[in-house]
Structure 1
Amino acid sequence: MQVNGIEILEKQPIAPYAYTQAGGEADYLAIPKNLAELKELLAWAKDKQLDLHVFGRLSNLVVRDGGLRGLVLILSELKEVQKVDEQTIRAQAGADLIWVANQALKYELSGLEWGAGIPGTVGGAVFMNAGAYGGQTDMVVSAVEALTKDGQLRHFDRDELGFGYRQSVFQENGTVIVSADFTLQASNHQAIQELMDENNYRRASKQPLNYPSNGSVFKRPVGHFAGKLIMDADLQGHREGGVEVSRKHAGFMVNIDHGTGNDYEDLIHDVQKRVKELNDIDLETEVRIIGER
């Protein structure tokens, strides 16, 4: 169906859009092409009293088989990136973090090298305070623009972002991230490129990039590494349905044979239970698990 010329898909499977290639149906799903369409869709969801779910590439996420009620918005078309001053790049929420890191390289700005291989979007990185290889979103994001559910654009300064370990204020306030400003440091092309290449090499050599996955599944327990705990529990290769604890990196779970969102969740619970039994350590998920069972 269409709302003011915007296509809204009904009973749409989520799996084709998800990095895990798993997940049930969305009642409604739309991909706004610009900020005006996003505002229209927010207004429609409010008028219909629908639950709202906003994503970029649906990475770092498990959607259960029962799917999501309400309206799912995928912001992949909101992907503009521009340089706004000598040290700042502004990127829309749907821009791939990898692309933003490459734009920073083009402008000879350092600080986003850690994002050169992360398969997520700017909005997701801000929402989860993503990080890797010694870098993190809160180290470089200086401001964020977000829409309230009433369609009002609100500016968040750095001290209003509420960043913590895999946390931000946007997990609580219900606003929709529209863009973020990355304030970086001048450097030179070769130095930036070398660090990006090093990070990408480390990622390719250690992570199971040949299968769909949900990224690093668990937060790092204090004083431990989740992957080491899982490996020591002899859980690599352990499987629920079509999802398996990666044999290459124990901190990842991979979709090797038409796995479902429920398979991911069941496997997560298996791992948590076993690590708790052996080490009395509670593994807390870094990935978000959402939807109906």
Structure 2
Amino acid sequence: MNLKHLTARLISLLGEAGVRENESMAAHTTFKTGGPADLMLLPHTEDGLISVLRVLREESVPFSVIGRGSNLLVSDEGLHGAVVKLAERMDGISVRENRVTAQAGASLRPICLEAIRAGLSGLEFAGGIPGSLGGAVAMNAGAYGGEIGDFITSVRVLDRRFETLCLSAAELDFSYRRSAVAEQEYIVLDAEFTLPEGDPQASMDKMNELNARRRDKQPLNYPSAGSTFKRPAGHFAGALIEQCGLKGFSIGGAQVSEKHAGFIINMGDAFSRDIYELILHVQDTVLKETGVFLEPEVKMLGEF
């Protein structure tokens, strides 16, 4: 990869503010860990995104598309190639009648607040989920009995040829912590929600109550990626981990939270390798002692 040549091409598309070299991924993940990416690209329009992706393909540059990095563990060695971040610029939200449309980089809390202000309900559960819409659609993010896929009418995506598709909720095939987006390697552009009418004050009260429960039960004062593991059928990951005596167990600066065993947290000086090795240790211990395999919710990027 001729970095100078590639950077010049990308700056011509995004401007200098949209192209960063040797960008630390610790600044772009909620774990606050990860080495540098060769290039960080910040498109602010759909056309700009498609143009950038086509340049990367022409130049045979590997790339990852991220939102707010809330479900990512990036290698300490960093990432070769490009990281395309949608969250800083492609984050528009609009409301029309009972439909809310948001771009992939929009955070879930502002989406929820816009819906509430418009007298629409249903998304209160998402008001405390830290990620952006693209990732939330890909993994069908959920909490407190609600899931993103419950209210989605359609999602526009780019396919592997960077052609635009509009998919219905049925075509997205939502289920627990999965959708067709990740399996087909689609890139989410935006999504439309159809929501029932509600009382704005009641909806705000509900969102605030759920967020208070989060603060009470989850270690939100430490960097983490939220729940580290998916809920295994018939069990709760945190309960299994605690049952195995792992609450508070640490490797380097990474710890199984003493507040909620389902969270692995960065105590302040963790490396990604510490977190990764702790994930493996928890999986191995729980499997040996209970026979249950814990599948991570966290997506790994780079070499581990």
TM-score band, normalised by the shorter chain? over 0.9
Kindly indicate whether the alpha-carbon contact (under 8 Å) linking 1:13 and 1:24 is maintained by their aligned counterparts in 2: yes
- The yes-or-no answer on 1:71 pairing with 2:82 is yes
CA distance in 2, matches of 1:164, 1:64: 29
Higher mean C-alpha displacement, 231-240 vs 124-133: 231-240
- The yes-or-no answer on 1:267 pairing with 2:287 is no
Kindly indicate whether the alpha-carbon contact (under 8 Å) linking 1:24 and 1:63 is maintained by their aligned counterparts in 2: yes
Kindly indicate whether the alpha-carbon contact (under 8 Å) linking 2:228 and 2:263 is maintained by their aligned counterparts in 1: yes
CA distance in 1, matches of 2:276, 2:164: 35
CA distance in 1, matches of 2:27, 2:43: 17
Kindly indicate whether the alpha-carbon contact (under 8 Å) linking 1:43 and 1:149 is maintained by their aligned counterparts in 2: no
- DSSP 3-state at the match of 1:33: coil
Letter in 2 for 1:248: K
Structure 2: unaligned runs, 5 residues or longer: 1-6
Identity of aligned residues (%): 40
1:127-171 superposed Cα distances (whole Å, 9 cap, x missing partner): 110000010011011100112344422111121112121111111
Kindly indicate whether the alpha-carbon contact (under 8 Å) linking 1:42 and 1:150 is maintained by their aligned counterparts in 2: no
Aligned pair count?
292
Letter in 2 for 1:144: V
1:48-92 superposed Cα distances (whole Å, 9 cap, x missing partner): 1122211110112211222223221110111110013x2110000
Letter in 2 for 1:80: G
Q: Indicate which of 234, 259, 263 corresponds to 2:245.
A: 234
Kindly indicate which of the two structures has a greater share of residues assigned to helix: 2
Structure 1: unaligned runs, 5 residues or longer: none
- The yes-or-no answer on 1:89 pairing with 2:100 is yes
CA distance in 1, matches of 2:250, 2:155: 40
CA distance in 1, matches of 2:259, 2:227: 12
- TM-superposed CA distance for 1:175, in Å, is 2.3
- The aligned counterpart of 2:4 is none
- The aligned counterpart of 2:294 is 283
1:7-52 superposed Cα distances (whole Å, 9 cap, x missing partner): 4223322111111101122222111122122112111111111222
> TM-score under structure 2 normalisation?
0.92
- The aligned counterpart of 2:52 is 41
Q: Indicate which of 143, 160, 171 corresponds to 1:160.
A: 171
Letter in 1 for 2:143: A
1:100-129 superposed Cα distances (whole Å, 9 cap, x missing partner): 001111011111000010100011110110
1:205-234 superposed Cα distances (whole Å, 9 cap, x missing partner): 001111110110111111111101111212
- TM-superposed CA distance for 1:5, in Å, is 4.2
Query: Measured at CA, do residues 39 and 204 of structure 1 come closer, stay the same or move farther in structure 2, by a change above 3 Å?
Result: same
Kindly indicate which of the two structures has a greater share of residues assigned to strand: 1
- The yes-or-no answer on 1:99 pairing with 2:131 is no
1:211-270 superposed Cα distances (whole Å, 9 cap, x missing partner): 110110111111111101111212111111111111111100111132121111100011
Q: Indicate which of 13, 21, 31 corresponds to 2:32.
A: 21
- The aligned counterpart of 1:208 is 219
